[in-house]
Amino acid sequence: GCVYKGCFTEATGMRALSSDVLADFEGMTIEKCDDFCSGYTLYGLEYTGECYCGNSLNEGSVSAPEGEATFLALVMHSDLWRI
C-alpha cells in the first residue's frame, strides 16, 4: 500500500522528484499519479495537476510544514522505505 509522507520543498535548483512527470490539469487524481508512478518508490502531486515520480528525493529537498511547501504531497509505494 501507499503511505503519505507529508510536504516537501523542491530540491536545490531542481524538482524534489525528477525521474518522470505527468501533467493533467483537467483530470489528475491521486490514483492516476499512483498508477503512473508504479515503477518508482515515491511520487508527489503539485499544483493539483502535476505528478512527479522518483526513487529518492533530490538533494536539498526537505520536509516542510503543511501549506508551506511547494511540493504538496509525497507518497511512497512501500512502507519499508523511509525518508
- pLDDT bucket at 78, cuts 50 / 70 / 90: low
User: How much is the CA Rg of the chain, to the nearest whole Å?
Assistant: 11
d(CA 14, CA 1): 28
pLDDT bucket at 52, cuts 50 / 70 / 90: very high
How far is the C-alpha of 15 from the C-alpha of 19, rounded, in Å? 10
Global model pTM greater than 0.85: no
What pLDDT score does 69 carry? 58
